[in-house]
Amino acid sequence: MKTSYSPKPLLLAIIILSAFMACTDKSKEDSSDDTELLSKKARDEQQKKIYEDAARLTREKELREEQLRLTRAADSVQSELELHLSRASADSIAAAERERMAAIEREREERLREEAYQRELERLEGQVPKPITGLFLLYGEGAPPRGYTKIARDLNKDAGGDFIYLCYTKDPSMGKPITGIKVAINDERQRHIPRNYEPLTCNRQGQNGLCDVNKEAGGKYVFMFMSRKKIEGDPITEVDITFGDQVKRQDWTLLDNDLNAGAGGAFIWLNYSRK
């Protein structure tokens, strides 16, 4: 019996082989695609890292440059500050030196003026009398205070009572020149002190702070006052006591008040001169 040949198994095998080959190609293609995708992703990440590194390096460079700029600016400010302080210190030293030299010059000029003034005083010493700078009433026969000259005329002459003498000084250390003298006669112990005047001091001052020229001689209370105010006139250069009649000397002032008022005894007058 003759056997017939069927092409179906062969065809089926070809189809299966073709399908397998197709699957294999597809798998290769998919694998190739996956590899290419992974490679692209790696390249992208690598490129991204390159960009990031470049950006980081750029920022670091900019930061270094900014830090360098700030350092230079700080150094410049420090230098200017030091220069300013140095100039200020130099100006201060120069100003202090100028002030010191000016003070020395003022002191020198003052010394020269004082020396010229002293020379002028010495030149005029023999021509212009020195002013009286103090008056004092001395009770008793003792010595006058140091630096004072006693006028040896008793202010209680022939009236009894204490011996009283008028003393004067021309020592400039005793005060300003005497410019006025006043005599006040009163029936009472208390006496108002004239304006711009002060009472004479003495070695036996009364309870009222005044010195009675008629002390222990009876009669009226007689007080003497002196002034140092310029308004009262030029300085008094001479003072004297006279007895008896009122005799006014040329260029002298005679006070019209008897220093023995009410006590009897001699008439006693006080005279002074401004020449």
Please write the tens of the pLDDT for every residue from 79-103. 888 888 888 888 888 888 888 888 8
Strand partners, 183: 224
- Residue the block writes with tokens 């008094």: 236
Beta strand 198-199 with 180-186: parallel, antiparallel or unpaired? unpaired
29 has a pLDDT exceeding 80: no
More confident residue, 87 or 242: 242
The strand pair at 268-273 and 252-254 is best described as antiparallel
Helix (H, G, I), strand (E, B) or coil at 208: coil
Q: How many residues does the chain have?
A: 275
Question: What per-residue confidence (pLDDT) applies to 38?
Answer: 74
Residue pair 273/251 in contact (Cβ under 8 Å)? The answer is yes
Q: Taking the mean position of all CA atoms in its chain, how far away is CA 242?
A: 56
How many other CB atoms sit within 10 Å of the CB of residue 210? 23
Cβ(144)–Cβ(171) below 8 Å: no
DSSP state of 232: G
| Rounded CA separation 206/21 (Å) | 158
* Nearest to 181, CA basis, from 147, 135, 217: 135
How many C-alpha atoms does 53 have within 13 Å on its Cβ side? 6
Task: Give me Rg for the CA atoms of the chain.
Answer: 63
pLDDT at residue 116 is higher than 70? yes
Mean pLDDT on 12-35 = 66
Residue type present at position 19: A
| Residue 204 contacts residue 97 (beta carbons within 8 Å) | no
Distance between CA atoms of residues 19 and 90, nearest Å: 104
Tell me the pTM: 0.54
Highest mean pLDDT among 232-236, 244-248, 261-265: 232-236
pLDDT at 152 over 90: yes
Distances (CA, A) of 1 to 4, 7, 8, 33, 216: 10, 20, 21, 57, 207
Give CA–CA dist 48/44, Å, rounded.
6
Q: Which range, of 9-23, 146-160, 182-196, averages the lowest pLDDT?
A: 9-23
Nearest to 163 by CA among 148, 141, 135: 141
How many CB atoms sit inside 10 A of residue 36's CB? 10
